[in-house]
Chain A
Amino acid sequence: MERAISFTLNGKPTRVTVDDERMLLWVLRSDLGLTGAKFGCGAALCGACTVIVNKEAVRSCTVPVKDIAGKHLLTIEGLSKDERLHPIQEAFINHNAFQCGFCTPGMIMSAYAFLAKKRQPTRAEIIRYMDDNLCRCGNQNRIVDAIQEAAAAMKGKAA
């Protein structure tokens, strides 16, 4: 059903009038012009489309836009503030934790949600949490290193 849906997008009140069964990923990418979240599988199997809804990481390719009415949505575009990179982004750069970069926004958003819950995770905990985010280029070990470094850098600070 086409209707107006309001939510907060990267800190700004936002309203879209769309078929409310459409998946969030496509509303973000084609109605709102935010192409950071990527299409990889369309079935919540790869994590490339991960965004944050009310502090939880969700696979936006399988979340109908009606489910985010009234909620806070954070995408990769909203992570750095005033051109200042988030510590997770800094850590990804420091460790060259990407190659093609297609999975990277989803990896960073997943890591963001994880670190908000678990401030100082062990390597094993990071691997377990991130295991459903796929990276074909093979940067998993670097991503774990980057998340550990980000966790240390964020110690004592709000996410």
Chain B
Amino acid sequence: MKPLLIQDDMNVTANGDLSRRRFLKFTGTGLVVFFCAGPLDAWQAASQGVPPTYTEPPKPSVPTDFNAFLQIGADGRVTCLVGRVELGQGPQTAFAQLVADELAVGFDSVNVIMGDTDVCPWDVGTFGSQSMRILGPIVREAAAEARVVLLQMAAEQFKVPVERLQVSDGVITDAAQGKHVTYGELVQGKRIERHLPNVPLKSPADFKVIGKPARRKDAVEKVTGKAKYTGDIRVPGMVYARILRPPAHGATRKDVDTTAAEKIQGVQVVKDGDLIAVIHERPDVAEKALGLIKAQFERKETGLNDKTIFDHLVKNATPPQVMKESGNLADAEKLAEPFELTYFHSYGAHAAMETQSALATIENGKATVWAATQIPFILRDKVAQALGFPKQNVRIITPYVGGGFGGKTNGQNCAEAVRLAKLVGKPVQLVWSRAEDFQYERFRPAAVVKIRSGMTADGKIVSWDFKVYAAGDWGSVTFYDIPNQRTTAVPVTGIAWQKMDTAGDLHPFNVGPWRMPGVNTSTFARESHMDVLASKAGVDPVEFRMRHLSDKRMRRVLEAAVKQFDWKPTRAPSNQGIGIACGTWYKTCVATVVQVKVDKSTGKVQVERVATAVDAGIIVNPEGARQQVEGCVSMGLGYALSEEVRFSNGEILDKNFDTYEIPRFSTMPKIEVVLVDNPELAPDGIAEPPAITMGAAIANAIYDATGARLFQLPMTPDRVKAALKQS
């Protein structure tokens, strides 16, 4: 046995090499995708000026030392440190559950500190529904290892074999001697230096906290108004900034007069290259002063708007690559006459309730930035490079974030706050207005999917040619059994994450990941098309899918959704207004049944009921998982029915919630969630996949209700009326 070593150093180190075991585990569990790494323009302040350059540094790794994730205080309280952030999706609670179970401490004695780059171990960022899938097992391992080390330490102290000891609620007991010691007493607030390889994790049968509903850690703070978001942070001497914006993307400033703004008491106008900003001790006074600046801009005529965009995308998209090919498409198309249909998806906004926000302070060569971000460590590196600071001199603190959905994975707002803080020599808080938030959104990309398919007289799909334009490849390869198939798309890695296409200027403004990037679009097309084929074959849509489906996990989920809804086999259109769609991302499988009512005179669609079944492997917090499914249903209703970004020549015409319609109380259907139990499997992610089926399930339900087929999302009343006319 190794000598017991305890160091007086409570500092958590963020660096450490991955052990071979963890490395294999980490990379072996799936993709590690970096959304935001790379391109310079991502870091460019929209107001122009010389953009700070950013070169992606070598990626650090997740540490192996469990001390990086866990601190045990002298009072026995456990602090779990993770670089992920709390966007509302509940990881603060779920990580506490993982630690409580594996470390054998009470759930209430675990605090979770998130997204602070000075105290939390390095982390890639919070996106892709990966907190439980990728970091979850690592945190569990850390807690399990710490528990066994603590048991060994107690055994040495009691001078008894470790097998005799029991542990519960952070207290180790030797029943035979009637002795006990708490974790707090053992550790005495110090860092544990001992490590053990290959400590087994608890088996699901032994879980006490994992898999049980838990009260959210953020509950009391959030209902009392005490929860702090970035815009709520106050530091001495801070000022608020507002930035002069062009009216449209691509517009250039010709003339500017700031005289009237400068006359307001306490206003400072900052001019630096193309950047013009107003600074004041009160945010609304800065806003008022901004309104007094007179500026002329010259707009750029592009001829692009939300109607012409689709032709532009198909004509200019990068030639796609083959993602999967099997069988022989050409021969199959001779067997059954193929036909082609085209599906469209408009631009969408994340529209989190909290707009982009940051508070930057630079003092004595050290920068501290509070930021509403999904990527604190990447932001740290970006800020360090922009300021020319070593990265240990930059600290990003992430308070509660008021919603992310993929929209807080860039940091333009943070770049601007840091730049202004440097210019004015004071802490600067920059909270974007709603109009700025829309203007500098990184929209879900508008996209086109073309499907050419052939089906034999007995209802068997024999050919499937699936082409994605402008939305990347995610979710594009079908899971249905089709002997001859080809899927082409532009794979989204590296720069494509910023543009969804390697042609840098394909989209007229920035696009980026939006709750299940690309997969919403591909699933809408594939599952709509499956219903078109089912209808042609005269077969019930569920039965038709089952005939082409051998994947056991997907079949089980489809059966669960159908059972929950009490789906009666029928041939669409049946006038019932019911529709189904299946989808998958990574290993998570989803099936959704919806029921709609269509007002044929107004074209308005009301979704009345949604039954969604999800298999996402082991569920850490069933209550939290349900909430995530409900959130996905809500955002799905939005992109399916109402959310569309209108634009013309670079001007974003939707500037607030009066025209950009997100779901409301009256939009929400009855939601029934079935979590298909699969506790032996690793967690697969649940915060996004249930959104992917909503578009097609509703389109199919509209068809079932009316016989009208919708090919474009969102299915607004106007589009529904137009489709009704055509049917």
Q: Do residues A77 and B224 form an inter-chain contact, with CB atoms below 8 A?
A: yes
| Residues on B with beta carbons closer than 8 Å to the beta carbon of A35 | 225, 228, 231-232
Given contacts A38-B229, A140-B664, contact A99 B89 (CB under 8 A): yes
In the complex, chain A residues 39-68 whose Cβ is within 8 Å of any chain B Cβ: 39-43, 45-46, 48
B333 an interface residue at 8 Å Cβ cutoff?
no
B-side interface size class: 35 or more
Interface size class of chain A, counting residues whose CB lies under 8 Å from the partner chain: 35 or more
A79 to chain B, nearest CB (A): 7
A49 nearest CB across to chain B (Å): 11
Q: How far is the CB of A64 from chain B (nearest CB, A)?
A: 11
Q: A40-B353, A45-B656, A137-B631 are in contact. Are A99 and B90 (CB under 8 A)?
A: yes
**Could you tell me if B403 and A36 are in contact, using CB atoms closer than 8 angstroms?**
no
In the assembled complex, B215 has its CB within 8 A of some CB on chain A? yes
Please report which residues of chain B, range 565-611, place their CB below 8 angstroms from some CB of chain A when the two chains form the complex.
none
Q: Are B353 and A108 in contact (CB under 8 A)?
A: no
Q: How far is the CA of A155 from the CA of B444 in the complex (A)?
A: 46
User: Quick check: which of B119-127, B145-153, B294-302, B665-673 contacts chain A, the rest being far away?
Assistant: B665-673
Give every chain B residue within 8 A of A131 (Cβ-Cβ). 664-666
Q: Is B355 an interface residue (CB 8 A)?
A: yes
Minimum Cβ distance to chain B for residue A16 (Å): 12
The reply to whether B283 and A136 form a contact with Cβ atoms under 8 Å apart is: no
Verify if B633 is at the interface (C-beta below 8 Å from A).
yes
| A127 proximal to B (CB < 8 A) | yes
**Smallest CB–CB gap between B217 and chain A, Å?**
11
Are A77 and B225 closer than 8 Å at their CB atoms?
yes
B234, B633, B657, B663 interface centre (most CB from chain A within 10 Å): B657
Q: How far is the CA of A89 from the CA of B87 in the complex (A)?
A: 20
Q: Is the interface of A mostly helix, strand, loop or mixed?
A: loop
Which of the listed residues A19, A80, A136 has the most CB atoms from chain B within 10 Å of its own CB?
Answer: A136
**Is the pair B400, A100 in contact by a Cβ cutoff of 8 Å?**
yes
Task: Specify which of B234, B282, B284, B630 lies most central, judged by the most chain A CB atoms within 10 Å of its CB.
Answer: B284
Contact A22 to B668, CB < 8 A, known contacts A99-B88, A134-B662, A138-B631: no
A103 at the interface (CB under 8 A from B): yes
Indicate if B351 sits at the interface (CB-CB under 8 A).
Answer: yes
Chain A residue, CB-CB nearest to B403: A100
Residue of B nearest to A18 (CB): B282
B668 contacts A141, C-beta separation under 8 Å: yes
The answer to whether A92 and B223 have CB atoms under 8 Å apart is: yes
Query: In the complex the two chains form, is A138's CB within 8 Å of B284's CB?
Result: no
Complex-state Cα separation, A142 to B223, whole angstroms? 14
**Contact A103 B353, beta carbon cutoff 8 Å:** yes
Chain B neighbourhood of A96, CB < 8 A? 216, 219, 623-624, 627
B205 at the interface (CB under 8 A from A): no
Complex partner residue of B227 from A31, A101, A134, CB under 8 angstroms? A101
Q: Does A104 contact B (CB under 8 A)?
A: yes
Tell yes or no: B431 within 8 A of A by CB. Answer: yes
B276-296: CB near A (< 8 Å → 1, else 0) gives: 000001111100000000000
CB neighbours (8 Å) of A25 from chain B are: 284
Quick one: given A75-B225, A101-B227, A128-B666, are A138 and B215 in contact (CB under 8 Å)? no
**B669: nearest residue on chain A (CB-CB)?**
A141
B353→A98 contact, CB < 8 A: no
Q: In the complex, which residues of chain B have a beta carbon less than 8 angstroms from the beta carbon of A113?
A: none
When the two chains form their complex, are residues B403 and A136 in contact, meaning their CB atoms are under 8 A apart? yes
Contact present for B663 and A101 (CB under 8 Å): no
Q: In the complex, what's the smallest C-beta–C-beta distance from A139 to chain B, in angstroms?
A: 7
Give the nearest-CB partner of A105 in chain B.
Answer: B225
A151 at the interface (CB under 8 A from B): no
Q: Are B352 and A100 in contact, CB atoms less than 8 angstroms apart?
A: yes
A143 CA to B635 CA, complexed, in Å: 17
The docked-state distance in angstroms from the alpha carbon of A131 to that of B668 is 10
B315 beta carbon closer than 8 Å to chain A: no
User: For the complex, what is the distance from the CA of A102 to the CA of B232, rounded to whole Å?
Assistant: 11
Contact of A140 among B234, B658, B663 (CB under 8 A): B663
Query: Which residues in B have their C-beta under 8 angstroms from that of A75?
Result: 225
The closest CB in chain A to the CB of B404 belongs to A100
A residues in contact with B229, CB < 8 Å: 38, 102
A sample of 17 more A-B contacts (CB under 8 A), given A26-B282, A93-B223, A138-B668, is A30-B282, A35-B232, A38-B229, A92-B223, A93-B216, A96-B624, A98-B88, A99-B631, A100-B402, A101-B88, A102-B88, A104-B223, A105-B225, A108-B223, A134-B657, A136-B353, A136-B403
- 16 A-B residue contacts at CB 8 Å? A22-B284, A30-B281, A31-B282, A35-B228, A77-B224, A79-B225, A80-B224, A93-B220, A96-B627, A100-B88, A101-B400, A127-B666, A137-B627, A137-B631, A140-B668, A143-B665
